[in-house]
Amino acid sequence: MKQFIFSAFIFLLLTGIKDASACSMLGLTGGAGYSSPFISASTHPNNNPHNLNCYYRINAQSSSNVIKVNFRNVNVEVGSCCNTDYFAVYEGSSATSRLIGKYCGQHSSIVLQGRGQYMYIHYHTDGSVYSTGFELQFTVSASATPSCDQLSIGGGPGTGFITSPNYPSNYPHQADCRYRINAGSATRTITLTFTAFNLE
């Protein structure tokens, strides 16, 4: 009997652990001209589990290619500076790469573009509010002069961060970046706060 109780206790402990490998996709690959199907984050469109960490790595097969990711039907718990539930997008192969932005809230669509061979996404949930997350689609195109535009940000209440190219390092010469933020309704307001500003 003692052995049975001990085994049951260990089983309960193990089932409480969220295995990142169960929801992560680190082998998303496509060359120039490729367009992926929509990929659901964890259990989307159902509520996602608490204390979740999912990782996605997109490989465009060439550093001269451009990766564009469309996050659709975004429903992620809103927190101050997106510090509770969020998904963070990096221009590179890991979370040590340049941060493109950190997002939460409700958005019909967020479209982001990255230069180079890789884009890395970290989706995190805490232990409080349930939400459905998002689904994503990525496309790969060839371009010798990739754009830094982010022309589809928002679509509903939420908070996000946008950085200039290569931030916090120096931005490149001849950069011409355009950003379009959509509040999703004419009755909503958009507030921009520049937390760092250093231009020539």
CATH of the domain at 90: 2.60.120.290
Q: Which runs of E-coded beta strand occur in 2-127?
A: 25-29, 39-40, 53-59, 65-76, 86-91, 98-115, 118-124
Q: Is 181 helix (H, G, I), strand (E, B) or coil?
A: strand
In a domain? residue 126: yes
The answer to whether 115 touches 95, Cβ cutoff 8 Å, is: no
Give the tokens for residue 99: 């941060």
* pLDDT (average), residues 23-51: 91
Range of the domain at 89: 19-182
pLDDT of 58: 97
Rounded to two decimals, what is the model's pTM? 0.68
Using a pLDDT cut of 70, give the percent of the chain over it. 76
pLDDT of 10: 34
In a domain? residue 1: no
**Alpha-carbon distances, residue 172 vs 34, 95, 100, 156 (angstroms):** 28, 22, 15, 32
Assess whether pLDDT exceeds 50 at residue 4: no
48 or 173: which leads in pLDDT: 48
pLDDT of 3: 46
In a domain? residue 49: yes
Domain count, the chain: 1
Contacts of 71 (CB under 8 A, 6+ apart): 87, 103, 107, 109, 110, 111, 112, 134, 135, 136
